[in-house]
Structure 1
């Protein structure tokens, strides 16, 4: 009777120490729970790099204002003093206003080009957010995945720790050999090391959540609340390709680059047109009192037109370069469309493969591995199974769990990549 009381007291101590150890492992950092919708909202609102990209739109709009500006007029003033005081030759004043009159539609071409560049900037910002949103979502999914992996390692350690402490008592009572007690204790220590590594990996992924959302988390880290649910979709490949060709921002960028190449040609042709120089001058000469050739004072008004001699038009390098740029933009547009079709196709097949891999676990594979482990532990406690068989079943169960969560994670990632490639977005979990 005393023997069983001793065993029961020892098991109570084991359970208490196990609980304290689990709490110590689980509270190494402070968590701030956050759901996906709130998180992705913070990304769109507070991400610093995205905020910096928005300033490019303001800069592009400022360039439009600059393109609207007419050439500045020039004003000149002159004073003439003959320096012949003895001869009374007099003095004079002069002023001139000149302005360049642009011909050939230069200003209109500049404005159109600046407007198209501003439109391109807006599309680039949209494309930047498309990539940012998917990257931030992948970071959130990685946090969920690492959270599950830590739970697997922690539960595995807790279970092995119980077994090791029970084996220690059984060894003291002479029920098992010392090597078995040492082996189970060694296994528990090995798994504890894996727990610490998994926890470091989780904390590292949670730091990324704060980075994407532009938050300074000094006292706590964002902790994803959701699991891997709501990632099952049914798609048709040809429909996805058509949607991508209509929605992908990088294809819109390639199309806008084609429009800009047309503007460059138009501006190059406009720059070859002659510009007129217009001038208006007024001069005043004072009375000349020289006795030999006295001259009354007078005011002269002059208007003139200057025409540049455009010898540079014989050099058509700028125009030819812009025409080659147009051809290049057309080729790049076709290549972008081809790349998009390939990306959608690859992402589609990856998603289908991930669906099939996840479906394997719906056959009861996880439950079967757990049942085998429980059976091995029960048999080991009755002396019917060796410790090595228990450890092998324990490792197998851990691998099955990890493979299951990895399949869930890869399935979710594959959906994010597919929707990113197709230019659609309905991720909400």
Structure 2
């Protein structure tokens, strides 16, 4: 085993055993707050929303006027060899947007801004879901590590008792070998559980931006169930898909407006060098749309709109199924937790205590003690997994009900 991994596992063992000073366990609400404040995912989504807001402000700005200077009739032959007969024009021109381009551009930018704001909210809810799951996984990993530590302690005591019984002639030597094998298995499981705990710790730390080497998850068994929402209320994913559809519709109008040519009007003053007279000049220009009528752009925007409609329909189906599945999974996990937390767990613990005392007194065999130990471990692990499944389902349900 690499030295770094061995050191990490030893640190985890000390942390679980309580011989090292442990930091206060982080609660779920604290983890959610840290994640929202420090996650790069949230920073990225916020920056994208700010950029969309800035583009929405910019979309309403019209084109700038242009100023131009034109010098004519110079540098030629005869009387045009110099600037004596030149004509200088100073003109101011302005492109006039036609076809509703500006309003269509503003509508697209506002729709994209709304989409970016909803995407920001989605990033927040997605991170919250991941933090909830990671927090629950760390708590479950810590509980499994504690159980593995306790199993090692019981296995050591069993091996010591078996050795005494063998020395006293009350048990054959094979029982001591079996007890030693159980101790080796328990120590191997302890190593694996500590490695899983360290991996879960790193995952939660990466999500919330924590550098605490002894990060520990607080108990979440008293968390209230996720609130229910009305079935006819659009969820976050549906609203996001609706915003994408609205933006696609707005792009159709923008593509149609782009096909309308703009007019450029100009006005200025012309000065004649030979007599120093001046005159007003004015004009306008307009493209002649015989080649580019933006037909391809309009067709593409219409196709994108059809795709967004289909995407919205699929999102509504997926959102409905996700809510139903998450609610069903949460209810089932809650029932499992309640069943496994009842008399069965208490009875398994009491049976193990009686079996250990009975084996030490010579009233029970090693096989009976092993069966009691396995039944106790199974009950504890099932409860840990049920609580983890409940936390995962609760995270999925909160995300599915996000608005």
TM (norm. structure 1) is: 0.82
- Are the counterparts in 1 of residues 226 and 398 from structure 2 also a CA contact under 8 Å? no
CA offset digits 1:205-230 (Å, max 9, x no partner): 1122221112233xx23211224233
Comparing 180-189 with 318-327, greater Cα deviation is found at: 318-327
Q: How many angstroms does 1:234 deviate by?
A: 9.0
Alignment partner, residue 38 of structure 2: 46
- Are the counterparts in 2 of residues 210 and 221 from structure 1 also a CA contact under 8 Å? no
Matched, 1:270 2:275: no
Comparing 333-342 with 380-389, greater Cα deviation is found at: 380-389
Alignment partner, residue 105 of structure 1: 100
Cα distance in 2 for residues equivalent to 1:88 and 1:415: 88
| Match for residue 208 of structure 1 among 189, 203, 208 | 203
Alignment partner, residue 27 of structure 2: 35
Cα distance in 1 for residues equivalent to 2:330 and 2:20: 35
Alpha-carbon distance change, 298 to 88 in structure 1, aligned in 2, over 3 angstroms: farther
Alignment partner, residue 4 of structure 2: none
Cα distance in 1 for residues equivalent to 2:395 and 2:36: 17
Within 5 Å, give how 1:143-158 maps onto structure 2: 143-158=138-153
Alpha-carbon distance change, 30 to 374 in structure 1, aligned in 2, over 3 angstroms: closer
Matched, 1:412 2:391: yes
Alignment partner, residue 3 of structure 2: none
Matched, 1:301 2:292: no
Alignment partner, residue 123 of structure 1: 118
- Are the counterparts in 2 of residues 240 and 422 from structure 1 also a CA contact under 8 Å? no
Any unmatched runs of 5+ in structure 1? 1-21, 288-295, 425-429
Q: Secondary structure at the match of 1:32?
A: coil
Comparing 320-329 with 53-62, greater Cα deviation is found at: 320-329
CA offset digits 1:157-186 (Å, max 9, x no partner): 111111212222333444433222222122
Alignment partner, residue 26 of structure 1: 17
| Match for residue 239 of structure 2 among 252, 259, 265 | 252
Alpha-carbon distance change, 70 to 315 in structure 1, aligned in 2, over 3 angstroms: closer
Alpha-carbon distance change, 275 to 208 in structure 1, aligned in 2, over 3 angstroms: same
Matched, 1:320 2:299: yes
Within 5 Å, give how 1:167-178 maps onto structure 2: 167-178=162-173
| Match for residue 131 of structure 2 among 132, 136, 139 | 136
Alignment partner, residue 427 of structure 1: none
Alpha-carbon distance change, 119 to 232 in structure 1, aligned in 2, over 3 angstroms: closer
Q: Secondary structure at the match of 2:216?
A: strand
Q: How many angstroms does 1:85 deviate by?
A: 7.6
Q: How many angstroms does 1:306 deviate by?
A: 1.1
Alignment partner, residue 373 of structure 1: 352
RMSD (CA atoms): 2.6
- Are the counterparts in 1 of residues 226 and 397 from structure 2 also a CA contact under 8 Å? no
Alignment partner, residue 332 of structure 2: 353
Q: Secondary structure at the match of 2:400?
A: helix
Matched, 1:187 2:187: no
Q: How many angstroms does 1:25 deviate by?
A: 6.5
TM (norm. structure 2) is: 0.87
Which has the greater radius of gyration?
A: 1
Alpha-carbon distance change, 86 to 327 in structure 1, aligned in 2, over 3 angstroms: closer
Cα distance in 1 for residues equivalent to 2:360 and 2:342: 30
Cα distance in 2 for residues equivalent to 1:23 and 1:326: 59
Q: How many angstroms does 1:380 deviate by?
A: 2.1
Any unmatched runs of 5+ in structure 2? 1-12
- Are the counterparts in 2 of residues 78 and 94 from structure 1 also a CA contact under 8 Å? yes
- Are the counterparts in 1 of residues 133 and 395 from structure 2 also a CA contact under 8 Å? yes
Q: Secondary structure at the match of 1:302?
A: strand
Q: Secondary structure at the match of 1:77?
A: strand
Alpha-carbon distance change, 30 to 173 in structure 1, aligned in 2, over 3 angstroms: same
Q: How many angstroms does 1:231 deviate by?
A: 4.9
Q: Secondary structure at the match of 1:51?
A: helix
Alignment partner, residue 48 of structure 2: 56
- Are the counterparts in 1 of residues 16 and 146 from structure 2 also a CA contact under 8 Å? no
Matched, 1:228 2:215: no
CA offset digits 1:128-153 (Å, max 9, x no partner): 11111111011111111111111111
Alpha-carbon distance change, 87 to 389 in structure 1, aligned in 2, over 3 angstroms: closer
- Are the counterparts in 2 of residues 207 and 221 from structure 1 also a CA contact under 8 Å? no
